[in-house]
Amino acid sequence: MFNILKKKFNKVFKSTSDKITKTIPKKITEKQISEKDLQFLEEIEFELLQADVAYEVIEKIKQDLKKNLAGKKVKRSRVKKIVEDTFKNSLKEILETPKLDIKQIIKKNRPCLILLLGFNGSGKTTSLAKMSKYLKKKGFSSVFAAADTFRAASIEQLEEHAKKLNVKVIKHNYGADSAAVIFDAKKHAENRKIDVVLADTAGRSHANANLMDELKKICRVNKPDLKILVLDSMTGNDIISQCETFDKAVGVDAVILSKLDVSDKGGAVLSAAYVLKKPILFLGTGQEYKDLLEYDKDIIVKKMI
């Protein structure tokens, strides 16, 4: 899942440890590290940019290393440990995101309307189906709202997932008002005491003004309890501008990072966590319904180093 990023971090980690160790003469065991001794840290930037790590994240890692090393007396035998601890602590701080308890939100807002948003091909429909499976395990029932009435075969795709998961789909014809579809799904959930309405929406970009206006109408009419943006991790740092687009239009409450199973770089996770400052609920790690990993910064750090 983080193969390239892990290789890059290991390379940077080893290089940093080795170069700092070389500044300490063999005849002595301890030396005060100077800013000049750490000039090589600029090389980190090139390595990590190749793994889709945002510039802001790279700068934090470099500054943390300087803070923990420059001006301090360091024993030769302790260099590796200091660098390792600094890397791990930096990553934990970078991966720290606002908390959001989806289970509590559902309990307070039955039926809870969860709207999935995203660019074309980001993996919204698959993520929606995975969420239904996840919520069922947590004891919550769900119904699907086929609010993507724009893309050909979108309703059939959602129905295929629903059939496998034994979930009802509320749908209208193609070209219908998406806000009306979701409204009907909410009524269905109310009448049948269903916990969650999972609404699929059309993939859209800032360039498609009509679809963005439709999304605004959906939110205005139905007042979603949770607006989740699905971001394709393969798009690298473009996920930052994508989030800004949707956040400006309707407000983004939380994020799902999809397709981490096919994105070996992995830097998008660091970028999303540190730059977006949004709760990250799940990571999509495969094609099966079970392949939805709850976001946990400690687990991610272990996978990266």
DSSP character for 36?
Answer: G
Mark out the alpha helices in 166-208 (DSSP H runs). Answer: 178-191
Segment 2-19, tens digit of pLDDT: 788 888 888 888 888 888
DSSP assignment of 78-113 equals: GHHHHHHHHHHHHHHHHT------HHHHHHHSSSEE
Q: Are 212 and 249 in contact (CB under 8 A)?
A: yes
List pLDDT tens digits, range 139-154: 999 999 999 998 888 9
Tell me which amino acid residue 244 is: E
What pTM value is reported for the model? Answer: 0.90
Report d(CA 181, CA 127) in Å as an integer: 19
pLDDT, block means (10 residues), the chain with 305 residues: 81 87 81 86 84 89 89 85 88 94 96 95 94 97 95 92 97 94 97 98 78 92 97 86 90 94 81 91 93 92 82
Q: Which domains does the chain have, with CATH numbers?
A: 3-94 (1.20.120.140), 102-304 (3.40.50.300)
Q: Is the CB of residue 200 less than 8 Å from the CB of residue 144?
A: yes
Quick check: 118 and 147 in contact, CB under 8 A? no
- pLDDT per position as a tens digit, 73-99: 888 888 888 888 888 899 999 999 999
DSSP 218-248: HHHHH--SEEEEEEEGGGTTHHHHHHHHHHH
Distant-in-sequence, close-in-space partners of 67: CB < 8 Å, separation ≥ 6 = none
